[in-house]
Amino acid sequence: MRKVFKFLLVVFFVFSSQKANALISIDITRGNVDPLPIALPYLGSENKEARKLGEKIINVVEKDLQNSGLFRSITRRAFIQEINSSNTLPEFASWSSINASALATGGINLVGEEEFEMEFRLWDVLAQQQIAGKSYNTNKNNWRRIAHLMADEIYKRLTGEDGYFDTRVVYVSESGPATKRVKRLAIMDQDGANHRYLTDGSELVLTPRFSPAAQKVIYMSYSDSIPKVYMLDVDTLKREVVGNFTGMSFAPRFSPDGKSVVLSASVGGNSEIYKMDLRNRRKVRLTKNSAIDTSPSFSPDASKIVFNSDRGGNQQLYTMDSNGRNIRRISFGKGRYGTPVWSPRGDLIAFTKMYKGRFYIGVMRTDGSGERLLTESYLDEGPTWSPNGRVIMFARQKKHRANTKGEWQIYSVDLTGYNEKLIKTPMDASDPAWSPLLTK
């Protein structure tokens, strides 16, 4: 009797557990691609000057987030609740009724004569809880960096990836007629602010590259037709010569630790790829082929190098191990592929493609699959990645028309192909190079 009872009990539980698994299943396979609506009220403060500073900061944060294409800032006139400090709990219903998915509240105070402190909290309006919060303390003049740090923190918490707003871009600023072009190195914040020149224009400068590990830039300079490679510290402006390399057409690229570079140099008409340790300046040759091998770029884990070569008949992309072994072709499309740059995120390679007289900036996966062209124009070239591998900057030249010379300008585009934007510079600009995050 007992056994029968136990058996029945087991059977009962088996059946009842089956019933519990019978949940209806709903599959959502599409969503919308609208930018995430976020509310950014101004920082609260009792001091008028602090409040004005807070407004400037939030305006920069707003611009950063909107320019990324992933966020949309809700107009302040729509706000229902007035929040004046980060310690106030938001009335989430009033924020969700204006369609905000996220909300950032905060306060700011002056500290002494020279400094200020601020803090903010990021709220998930629909889940009704705080999801991030940071406080900052620094010199008053440094307020822009705080704004970028706050924008990075918001970006990071909502997308899961590191931000890229607290970065700078070095580029070649061009001016003057085509016959007497003056090229200077210039640096600016990624949003165009704090623009200044790094060289005086007496020498021709080309292809600056930012170190991924320090605020240093390596670039090529021509003086008396002899190309020299220089390393420049952008903060101290100290400059050192890396070497005289004859037969180089562009500057070397850094390894991920910033301690060595990879470069291409042609000897006797044969362009090969070399790796060079920056400390002892010793060079190691990586390619041995009569074809033109050039434009190398390291992967972020330093295990591989991507470069272009015409050993297959026309200019295509190849990868190899960082010791030169295991060379593999990855591009097979029609046209010519050049200037490959490995994404700092490691999953994509950006390149310039030339086909039927048009230029394209594209990306492909590191095995060559999934090739996508993001831009197209008369002349697009020289992609550089943001440090989080989400945004690409490149140079574009407009077609010459009658009397106008073709302008050179820098544009940025998201890796999804959306959000192509012009980056405003005082004069013509080309050869952009993106810095790593300033705080690491």
Interaction with another protein in 3-42: which residues (CB under 8 A)? 19, 22-36
CA dist., res. 328 & res. 319, Å (int):
5
Please identify which residue in 146, 248, 364, 393 interacts with another protein, judged by CB under 8 A.
146
Residue 335 CB, nearest approach to another protein (Å): 20
* Three-state secondary structure call for residue 379: coil
- Dig out the tokens for 214 from the structure: 């320090």
Give the torsion through C-alpha atoms of 282, 288, 291, 292, to 10 deg: -20
Residues 6+ apart with CB under 8 A from 155: 64, 65, 68, 70, 71, 161, 163, 164, 165
Q: Any long-range contacts for 290-294 (C-beta under 8 Å, 24+ apart)?
A: 292/266, 293/264, 294/249, 294/264
Alpha-carbon torsion, ordered 51, 52, 56, 61, to 10 deg:
10
Nearer to another protein, 9 or 36 (CB): 36
Least distance from another protein to the Cβ atom of residue 267, Å: 39
Say whether residue 111 binds another protein (CB under 8 A): yes
**How far, in Å, CA of 317 to CA of 311, rounded?**
10
Shortest Å, Cβ 252 to another protein: 26
Residues 253-292: x where in contact with another protein by CB under 8 A, - otherwise, as a string: ----------------------------------------
Q: How far is the CB of 19 from another protein (least distance, A)?
A: 7
Site for another protein in 299-328 (CB under 8 A): none
x/- mask, another protein, residues 331-360, rule CB under 8 A, reads: --------------x-x-------------
- Binding piece for another protein, criterion CB under 8 A, among 39-47, 55-63, 93-101, 375-383: 93-101
Phi/psi region, residue 225 (left: phi>0; alpha: psi -120 to 50; beta: rest), is left
Interaction between residue 82 and another protein (CB under 8 A): no
Pick the stretch among 92-100, 243-251, 377-385, 401-409 that binds another protein (CB under 8 A): 92-100
Q: Which listed range, 45-53, 107-115, 272-280, 283-291, lies at the site for another protein (CB under 8 A)? A: 107-115
Q: Positive or negative CA dihedral for 61, 67, 69, 75?
A: positive
Size of the chain, expressed as the number of residues it contains: 440
Interface with another protein (CB under 8 A), residue from 66, 81, 84, 88:
88
CB 330 within 8 A of CB 347: no
Neighbours of 6 (CB within 10 A): 10
Residues 148 to 207 in contact with another protein, rule: CB under 8 A: 149, 156, 158-161
| Only segment of 59-67, 197-205, 317-325, 408-416 that touches another protein (CB under 8 A) | 408-416
Residue 264: its H or E element = strand 260-267
CB of 54 to another protein, least distance (A): 15
Q: Is the CB of 315 or the CB of 412 nearer to another protein?
A: 412
d(CA 165, CA 58): 14
Q: Is 415 in the site for another protein (CB under 8 A)?
A: yes
